[in-house]
Copies of this chain bind each other. A is one copy, B any other.
Amino acid sequence: MNQDYIQPNNWSIIEEGFDAERVKSSESIFSIGNGAMGQRANFEEQYSSETFQGSYIAGVYYPDKTRVGWWKNGYPEYFAKVLNAPNWIGINVSINGEALDLANCKVIKNFRRELNMKEGWLSRSFEATLHNFIEVKVETKRFLSLDMDEVGAIQYHVTPLNNEAKIVFAPYLDAGITNEDSNWDDKFWNTLSVKFEGEQAFIESHTMKTKFHICTFMQSQVSLNGKKLNQEKTINDTVDSIEFQYQNQVNKGDTITLTKFGGYTTDRNHDKDELKSIAKENLTKASALGFNALLENQKEAWAKIWEMADIAIEGDVKAQQGIRFNIFQLNQTYLGKDARLNIGPKGFTGEKYGGSTYWDTEAYCIPFYMATKDQDVARKLLTYRYNHLEKAIENAKKLGFKNGAALYPMVTMNGEECHNEWEITFEEIHRNGAIAFAIYNYHRFTGDYSYIPEKGLEVLIGIARFWQQRANFSTAQNKYVILGVTGPNEYENNVNNNWYTNYLAKWCIAYALENIEWVKENYDSDYTRIMNKTKLSTTEMEQWKKVADTMYFPYSEKHHVYLQQDGFLDKELITVVDLDKSQRPINQKWSWDKILRSPYIKQADTLQGFYFFEDHFTTEELKRHFDFYEPFTVHESSLSPCVHSIQAAKLDRMDQAYSFYLRTSRLDLDDYNKEVEEGLHITSMAGTWMSIVEGFGGMRVKNDMLSFEPKIPTQWKAYSFKVNFRNQILKMNVAQGSATFELSGTDELKILVNGKKVTVAPNNLMTV
């Protein structure tokens, strides 16, 4: 780990003491979001030192012109960027004419920040002495409402401690913002109007090129010692900002408070012409409720989420804090309400990685959302890809594929590819396999087959077509090979016959064929519609089958393992423990070519295949492959430790599983990768959930039943989690030496525990 200033606490993330060096790190960690918008934990008042300002609206992006060194045919022209949105949280504060600015105080005491995950709010308090010798106490609380997801609320209290003082609150809206990371210094926003009415203000603006229209809004109210003041304000507006100024002489010990509601309405959800009137409705409703009532609603809404999604760990506060932080951030990012949205790798916490959707969603996030929400949420995530199928076909066409072959983008916001390293964009094609696997996984877990005839099968056909065309027959091997790919281990580029990719390709084709057959037999009208649409012929399916049946897999007779790719054994096979520590992380210490030539693995690659297709291999085979590959794995991807934790647990290596668990669950809190300033690793957080539920809990679906092989790290007293399995809620509590099951509802549930079938009766603790 690289930092340890976060206080261990079961339900909150707490920072104590002010350190300017930690500001950007904390801005990421204390981020708040409600699925529709989110923001870094920037201070409301002016902060004149190093900060990374960020406020993001779900689905609002900008197609920045792609910047590349050397153009390659097939690169996307635009790169969809996560877009910094207008600032509505700003409240400048001046005290006897001096700006309150934590970068510029004489003394700062008792600085404390808390992200209360149980209730979904962020608070901050401190005492500051200004250069004018006035000492004030400041307390703020802020949240983004889950109930009214276009609205956020802030309460900002100032108490002069050593003297009376003239205190000016200046809440503002600012649409003159930029992105940290713009390729061509383009302007991204156009301001259309700046307006105010009474205590409300509105800025209408739209993104350039994409023309997303939004209205940013605020309303403010000043109170003294809890009593509302009706007072005059000064209004300052510019072409892209507006500020209200409220001036008050405040006695020593009295508390002056600014309550601010704000947020965005967007034409993604409303008619463009109604953005301001709906903004006004939002403000009127929120202010009528008031800050406290809205906060109570917030607590209830979060309680409902936790009721289903919480994982409780006894006896290990840091592990507890880690998993809750992960579950909290996932829910802040995506709540499954909108099929146009997805789970960005940085959520609403930073700009890095353009686009919102990676294969992370299918490979890592879907299990979490399937088990902790209504199954409709996972179906929305699948539908997202179905809605992008045409664009995936276009994308493949650009690269020379034909006849409806689909290559899903590596990174996207709207279905178009927006990454531009050839070795990734053009070659990291295993993503297609994860998308097909998610369909299989969804059906396996939810039992809902209807998605496949309705939507999924078309996706499976486009993907199978791609694999068939992407493979070629090698007369030398007398098999089909897949040349020029990058596997999940991005520390290898343009390799031939990546085992994971070849295995997925074969499986995708077989799975598509199996479902075509099933739909043909059971969903006549869907079958006819799909065949008419895709013009799939028997000849084509025979070609698919030939490729799948004759796929080549690199294998080492000597080591009895599948090889990550052709030629892997030509490398200098020095394990990670024998690597000088000064050389780590290799992605910071080594040139790219040295990394590529090395045997070091960024994240599970062959083992990712063993994770997806566990049933296809014996535990002995898993052990052999784990023992062969893990020693070369540097885990420099956030997605690496979780899969290894699950497999270590399966192999009864609980110490190793626990250490991988800590690494995945506290990756950002403890900043393992020295980059938390840039934002959080949202998608890998779902992997943390998997490493408890699938790893320690051993949860699988077998023969249409939930199956568990409960284990527990020696460091823990107990842990528990719930899963929603086909609309039945089952809770498992694992203690040292026992596991207890508890089922809600009215129907019993047959499950497997350590391979033995047991029946759980509803509302009745069952211990095994």
Binding site for B on A (CB under 8 A): 66-70, 72-74, 398-400, 420-423, 426-427, 472-477, 481, 483-484, 493-497, 566-567, 569-573, 587-594, 596-597
How many monomers of this protein are in the complex? 2
A72 touches B592 (CB 8 A): yes
Contacts of A590 in B (CB 8 A): 73, 400
A643 to chain B, nearest CB (A): 24
Q: Which residue of B lies closest to A426 (CB)?
A: B593
Complex CA distance for A474 and B573, rounded to whole angstroms: 9
Complex CA distance for A426 and B472, rounded to whole angstroms: 29
Contacts of A477 in B (CB 8 A): 570
Complex CA distance for A399 and B592, rounded to whole angstroms: 8
Contacts of A423 in B (CB 8 A): 494
Contacts of A493 in B (CB 8 A): 493-494
Which among A66, A399, A474, A476 has the highest number of chain B CB atoms within 10 Å? A476
Contacts of A67 in B (CB 8 A): 67-69
Contacts of A594 in B (CB 8 A): 399-400
Contacts of A69 in B (CB 8 A): 66-69, 420-421
Q: List 16 A-B contacts (CB under 8 A).
A: A68-B69, A69-B421, A70-B420, A73-B587, A73-B589, A73-B592, A74-B593, A422-B593, A426-B591, A474-B570, A475-B573, A483-B571, A484-B596, A484-B597, A496-B570, A497-B570
A687 to chain B, nearest CB (A): 24
B427 touches A593 (CB 8 A): yes
Complex CA distance for A417 and B572, rounded to whole angstroms: 27
Complex CA distance for A69 and B418, rounded to whole angstroms: 12
A476 touches B426 (CB 8 A): no
A67 to chain B, nearest CB (A): 6
Contacts A69-B421, A481-B570 supplied; 14 other A-B pairs, CB < 8 Å: A66-B69, A67-B68, A67-B69, A68-B68, A73-B587, A74-B591, A74-B592, A74-B593, A400-B590, A422-B593, A472-B572, A475-B573, A483-B567, A566-B566
Which among A69, A423, A473, A483 has the highest number of chain B CB atoms within 10 Å? A69
Contacts of A420 in B (CB 8 A): 69-70
Partner of A592, one of B422, B567, B588: B422
A705 to chain B, nearest CB (A): 43
Complex CA distance for A72 and B570, rounded to whole angstroms: 24
Instruction: Assess A496 versus B569: contact at CB under 8 Å? Given A591-B72, A591-B399, A592-B426.
Output: no
Instruction: Assess A483 versus B570: contact at CB under 8 Å? Given A426-B593, A591-B400.
Output: yes
A70 touches B591 (CB 8 A): no
B567 touches A496 (CB 8 A): yes
B74 touches A572 (CB 8 A): no
B422 touches A569 (CB 8 A): no
A483 touches B68 (CB 8 A): no
Complex CA distance for A69 and B68, rounded to whole angstroms: 4
A476 touches B569 (CB 8 A): yes
Q: Which residue of B lies closest to A493 (CB)?
A: B494
